Amino acid sequence: MLEDIKKLKKNFLILELKNVCKKFQGEDIISDITFSINNGEFISILGPSGCGKTTLLRLIGGFETPDLGDIYIKKTRVNDVTPSNRKVNTVFQNYALFPHMNVYENIAFGLRVEGEDDAYIDKEVKKIAEKVGLDKLLLRMPNQLSGGQKQRVAIARAVIKKPHILLLDEPLSALDKKLRQKMQIELKQLQKSLGITFILVTHDQEEALSVADKVIVMGDGQIEQIGTPRDVYESPTNLFVAQFVGEINVFDAEVLAVKKDQAELLIEDEIVYIIKNKKGYKAKEKLKVLFRPEDLRTETIKDSKTLNNVLIGKVEDTTYKGATLDSTVILKNGKVIKVSEFFDEDDAYFDYKIGENVTISWIEGWEVILKDEK
């Protein structure tokens, strides 16, 4: 019961954008964006460079005003509210710590500006420092901190005034891969322990999926899909999302015939594949059948007589990755296919050479089918 009440309290809408548009020099940069976010969620905004991610954050933070549409924070319309009165804070890529102040003073800065008294500041700084694991580093200067520690100072400084939302614009993009992965985990833990809504902008799909409860995929000023990391990876709603969120193979297909609740597809003009026709495809309709590299299987061709209904391709390249063997296979029609298979040393199937012909099959039902948008 108490848990339910807590949940209810947590699940109120913290941020809503309704039909928000923004132009720069007459050009649509944000076109009619609508979405809402629950309190306490970790959201990532994923999209290619120049698609409008920073502009969207600046609109939420109050550094830009929408040309059309409304922004609500905790149900209050904030279009005309200044950044400092929105209870939204931003952490930038370089953290922008004050180099001449120690960790304590960096964290305390916002409260000092507000003119809070020393006792209150001391209590709050120590409370937040403990939460983010900086309590033993309060006297260090920024240049004596690791990247992860600097990030924690930047976040502690940004959240000490208890904002409703913390915006993070590519805070990890300058770091090498290993450190970035470590910091992603830290960021996620920090968000959970603080309980504040985080909105993280990134163009790194792995990062967007691994940190967030929900991912907003953006393309050219619009939202292409909003969903859990699994939703956007496993059930992309269009080709843009499928191709932007990870690697994917796109097979061309045509509906040959529809029988009862099944549809017969001709894939790459070569093989017939029967699916459950849940979406009511019609004969002659053109489709795209999508498979992630890890949902495909290759096999050396041992006995060509038994080959039935599988695609055949030539191995162009293989990369041993420890846990997986990743191959590039070229189909007869020239299409390049990527396959990633779990590697088992005893498995003779992987014994193929570059230039050899292999069969390509898949795990039935794991495909994503989209209507051909052309």
Ligand X SMILES: Nc1ncnc2c1ncn2[C@@H]1O[C@H](COP(=O)(O)OP(=O)(O)OP(=O)(O)O)[C@@H](O)[C@H]1O
Q: Using CB under 6 A, which of the segments 52-60, 144-152, 227-235, 318-326 binds ligand X?
A: 52-60
* Shortest distance in whole angstroms from residue 49 CB to ligand X: 3
**203 in contact with ligand X (CB under 6 A):** yes
**Taking CB under 5 A as the criterion, which residues in 309-338 touch Mg ion?**
none
**Taking CB under 6 A as the criterion, which residues in 17-36 touch ligand X?**
24-25, 29
Q: Nearer to ligand X by C-beta: 169 or 367?
A: 169
Q: Nearer to Mg ion by C-beta: 92 or 120?
A: 92
**53 in contact with ligand X (CB under 6 A):** yes
Site string for Mg ion, 20-59 (x = CB under 5 A): ----------------------------------x-----
Q: Nearer to ligand X by C-beta: 51 or 71?
A: 51
Q: Nearer to ligand X by C-beta: 226 or 296?
A: 226
**Secondary structure of the chain in the HEC alphabet?**
CHHHHHHHHHCCEEEEEEEEEEEECCEEEEEEEEEEEECCCEEEEECCCCCCHHHHHHHHHCCCCCCEEEEEECCEECCCCCHHHCCEEEECCCCCCCCCCCHHHHHHHHHHHCCCCHHHHHHHHHHHHHHCCCCCCCCCCHHHCCHHHHHHHHHHHHHCCCCCEEEEECCCCCCCHHHHHHHHHHHHHHHHHHCCEEEEEECCHHHHHHHCCEEEEEECCEEEEEECHHHHHHCCCCHHHHHHCCCCEEEEEEEEEEECCEEEEEECCCEEEEEECCCCCCCCCEEEEEECHHHEEEEECCCHHHCCCCEEEEEEEEEECCCEEEEEEEECCCCEEEEEEECCCCCHHHCCCCCCEEEEEECCCCCEEEECCC
Q: Nearer to ligand X by C-beta: 93 or 300?
A: 93
Q: Using CB under 6 A, which of the segments 47-55, 79-87, 179-187, 361-369 binds ligand X?
A: 47-55
Choice from 13, 19, 50, 98 touching ligand X (CB under 6 A): 50
Residues that bind ligand X (CB under 6 A): 24-25, 29, 47, 49-55, 203
